Amino acid sequence: MLEIWGRPYSSNVIPVIWTAAELGLDYKLKLAGGSFGQLDTDQYATINPNRMIPAIRDGDFSLWESLAIVRYLCARYGAGTLCPDDPQQRAIADQWMEWSSTRAFTPVIQMFFQTVRTAPDKRDQKTINAHASDAASVLSIFEKHLEGREYVVSDSFTMADIPLGCIAYRYFNVDAARPDLPNIEAWYERLSQRPAYQKHVMRFFGTNPEEWQALEIASANEGE
């Protein structure tokens, strides 16, 4: 059975778990990283020499880097659906997946770290505002792209929606300023109708480090 190594509250692991769920794959979650440790073991180094999560094992095959894993799972188990057959459509999916990690991920994850993962008395509003402003500026590109489109590539859901959908949930649920982004909001609303998104992405992540930590520890019952 497919093994996913990681923890259910990690920003880089969530896209992999969501992908497996969208594809209807049976998988075993092997808890690793954060409160669950394991990354410094010799066994884990054979799966991911970077000692980071996520990583997968699919039979004898190991793979790391979250978006490489999303692409692999979609190519192997979702060819023609989550992984478009048409080379140009697939290239557009790849383009937005690259963009999600090189442009959108950092400002949004910083908004998350400077709020939820920072104690309220240690938060710096100027820093939060600066990341929120960077995120808004980057997301304005995506906002324009979604004009007249239901999903990232076309009118059907593909692997390109996955990393951006994970970023969107963080973006819309942290305590920070956001401009109106009607196309992104409508797309986010469409994703919110998907059971696998509700279950694996739309998880309450707390409002401060203690709450976040308690939720992460409680998620131990989802894996082994």
Ligand X SMILES: N[C@@H](CCC(=O)N[C@@H](CS)C(=O)NCC(=O)O)C(=O)O
| Interface with ligand X, residue 94, by CB under 6 A | no
Checking DSSP bridges between strand 61-64 and strand 55-58, what pairing results, if any?
Answer: antiparallel
Q: Which of 8, 17, 31, 34 binds ligand X (CB under 6 A)?
A: 34
Residues 118, 174 contacting (CB under 8 angstroms): no
Q: Which is nearer to ligand X, 37 or 182 (CB)?
A: 37
Could you say whether residue 19 binds ligand X (CB under 6 A)?
no
- Work out how close the CB of 65 gets to ligand X at its nearest, in angstroms, rounded to a whole number: 5
Shortest reach from residue 38's CB to ligand X, in Å: 9
Asked if residue 20 lies in contact with residue 69, where contact means CB atoms within 8 angstroms, the answer is no
Cβ nearer to ligand X, comparing 67 with 82? 67
| Spatial distance between the Cα atoms of 141 and 143, rounded to a whole number of angstroms | 5
Q: How far apart are CA 105 and CA 135, in angstroms?
A: 9
DSSP 2-63: EEEEE-TT-TTTHHHHHHHHHTT--EEEEE-SGGG--TTSHHHHHH-TT--S-EEEETTEEE
Q: Residue count at the site for ligand X (CB under 6 A)?
A: 11
Q: Using the rule CB under 6 A, give the single segment among 46-54, 130-138, 185-193, 213-221 that binds ligand X.
A: 46-54
Instruction: Pick one of 3, 65, 94, 150: the residue that binds ligand X (CB under 6 A).
Output: 65
Toward ligand X, which CB reaches closer, 53 or 82? Answer: 53
User: Which H helix or E strand runs over 64?
Assistant: strand 61-64
Shortest Å, Cβ 5 to ligand X: 10
Cβ 56 to ligand X shortest distance, Å: 11
Kindly list the residues in this chain that would bind ligand X in the complex (CB under 6 A). Answer: 10-12, 33-34, 39, 52-54, 65-66
